Amino acid sequence: MFMNRMKHTFDGGIRLVEAVCSSLTSERIDIDDFSRNLGIITHFECDFFCRYHLDDDRHDDYLPHFIYEARLHLEYLSSGDFLRFKEEVHVADVRSLVIELRKMYEKGASSFENDLLFAIGAAVSTCGIVVRQQALSGSGFHRESFSAVMTR
């Protein structure tokens, strides 16, 4: 599966995210490949929390999509420390994390802040889950639930 040929929507990308997570946590891999693949996962996850990636119609409306993402980037750069409240989601895997965070995301206002909060929260939490699971994969430890923590 090539990342640039796939829709960066939840339905179009979650299987790729799961497959890459599985390979990262079950195989010995060098740090460069691990980092690149973790970047692919977090790229898709950030898109899962961007209003122009919620469905195919908005995703394919390229000019407003591009303008929105440029404004989102500027909002991020000017926001400083905008993450102030704490949400915890206890999950066992990345798919469960994304599903739980999307439920919370969909209840929030349609805003740059909401998109940024959940995109960054998903990416940071996913990195924690994948790194911990990769570290535990060679041992006899039980893969416990991990916490996703966001603050706003």
Q: What is the pLDDT of residue 33?
A: 84
* 152 token code pair: 């706003």
Q: Per 3-state DSSP, what percentage of the chain is helix, strand, and coil (rounded to 5)?
A: 65, 5, 25
This prediction has a pTM of 0.76
Q: Is the dihedral of CA 49, 81, 125, 103 positive or negative?
A: negative
Q: Report the C-alpha gap between 132 and 32 in whole angstroms.
A: 17
Q: Compute the average pLDDT of residues 49-78.
A: 79
Confidence band of 42 (pLDDT split at 50, 70, 90): very high
Domain boundaries along the sequence of the chain: 10-150
